[in-house]
Amino acid sequence: MANAGQFCQDAQILQYCGTGASATVKAAAWFDVIILHAEATINAMTRYDWSAADAATALTSTAREILCVAGGSLAANIGIAWDMSGYTTRTEAEDLININRDRYLMCIAALRDMKNQKFIQEA
């Protein structure tokens, strides 16, 4: 699978979806749409165009990893919520959603903080 976005990675999304992700969620065409949505959401939530900065290779490996975790977590949650049929129980899917949501919110808080943005950009 080729990665459609700048910092969201297909393999990371699959990992965050867990082993119960349905075949539909694992399909490459689905990823192309969701990855772009996740990256746009992160850019809007933090009021900074991380996609453009990453394309210009202006990000450090630390910043890129924070963005990958945020994007992977958000995209995985969209996939899990969209099709829970592959999980053994609804509770299993909901647990993954909760874990991914917490991970996403932690990353967004770090990216939103102007001091962190300055540190990330100047590192």
Domain range for 59 is 10-122
Tell me, yes or no, whether 3 lies in a domain. no
Tell me, yes or no, whether 5 lies in a domain. no
Number of structural domains found in the chain: 1
DSSP 3-state percent helix, strand, coil across the chain (nearest 5): 75, 0, 25
Distance between CA atoms of 42 and 45, rounded to whole angstroms?
A: 5
In this prediction the pTM is 0.85
Q: What is the pLDDT of residues 34-87, one digit of tens each?
A: 888 899 999 999 888 888 877 667 677 888 889 999 999 999 999 999 989 999
Tell me, yes or no, whether 92 lies in a domain. yes
Tell me, yes or no, whether 4 lies in a domain. no
